[in-house]
Structure 1
């Protein structure tokens, strides 16, 4: 059984089951808009269109295009200039949640953290024996 939610597009209540994040009316409207965009992109001369060009030609919201690319309804392999914003910096990416530079930055930070942790563990596990100096006094 679903839960009652407000549609983020129109504000109406709908039964949210996890399949769609908008109400039935908005979902049907989005599907019609998707068909407009897909018909536009199927034309050979439009396959390399940018997001800005698609928005200009079809009147569809940029956020809907990003949503469809993120959900693989519009695939960058077929339409190479499509993408969606990186969750971290907003730069356009075509896969995952982060762009290549943010992914590399995150990996670098993790490598540094692992190296520091390894060093701390090594220092903590060293034998801290007591050293005595044998000094003879005259």
Structure 2
């Protein structure tokens, strides 16, 4: 069954489906993409950065970065296009995290793995053969 939702851009009501925005915003996004792509196809504009594209086309910076992130505009073709790292906000050209955040995450995983191995080893050591002793006391 279809779900009724508010569009995150214009706050209008729409039936939520595969699109994350209403039909009007979706059409506007497509017009914005065509404007940006037409600008970027010109040879002299291929090295333009996001600020220059915003100034020339009037399309919002967040929208342009969204096109790059969703791979509608490929950084291989347009070398100055970037988007934000999901963790720290640094400008990146591919993936979700910048190199430093990736390294930090990998270090954390490595350390957690070492901690898990040590705790597992300690647990196994503690579960060795256990001997219980009792003291027999004579009644006096």
Give the TM-score range, shorter chain. Answer: 0.7 to 0.9
Equivalent residue, structure 2, for 1:8 = 8
Q: What are the residue-to-residue correspondences of 1:70-109 with 2, within 5 Å?
A: 70-109=69-108
Question: Looking at CA atoms only, which structure, 1 or 2, has the larger radius of gyration?
Answer: 2
* 3-state SS of paired residue (1:14): strand
Unaligned runs of 5+ in 1: 131-138
CA distance in 2, matches of 1:56, 1:71: 22
Normalised to the residue count of structure 1, the TM-score between the two structures is 0.86
Q: Using a 3 Å threshold, how does the CA distance of structure 1 residues 128 and 108 change in structure 2: closer, same or farther?
A: farther
Between 117-126 and 106-115, the greater mean CA deviation after superposition: 117-126
Unaligned runs of 5+ in 2: 132-140
CA distance in 2, matches of 1:22, 1:117: 44
CA RMSD of aligned residues (A): 1.6
**Is residue 69 from structure 1 mapped to residue 72 from structure 2 by the alignment?**
no
Q: What are the residue-to-residue correspondences of 1:1-138 with 2, within 5 Å?
A: 1-17=1-17, 19-126=18-125, 127=128
CA distance in 2, matches of 1:70, 1:20: 16
Q: Using a 3 Å threshold, how does the CA distance of structure 1 residues 36 and 129 change in structure 2: closer, same or farther?
A: same
Normalised to the residue count of structure 2, the TM-score between the two structures is 0.85
Deviation at 1:111, TM superposition (A): 0.2
* 3-state SS of paired residue (2:4): strand
Structure 1 consecutive aligned stretches of length 4 or more whose deviation exceeds 6 Å? none
Which digits, 9 at most, give the CA deviation of each residue in 1:38-79, with x for residues without a partner? 011001111111111111111111110111111111111111
* 3-state SS of paired residue (1:22): coil
CA distance in 2, matches of 1:61, 1:21: 18
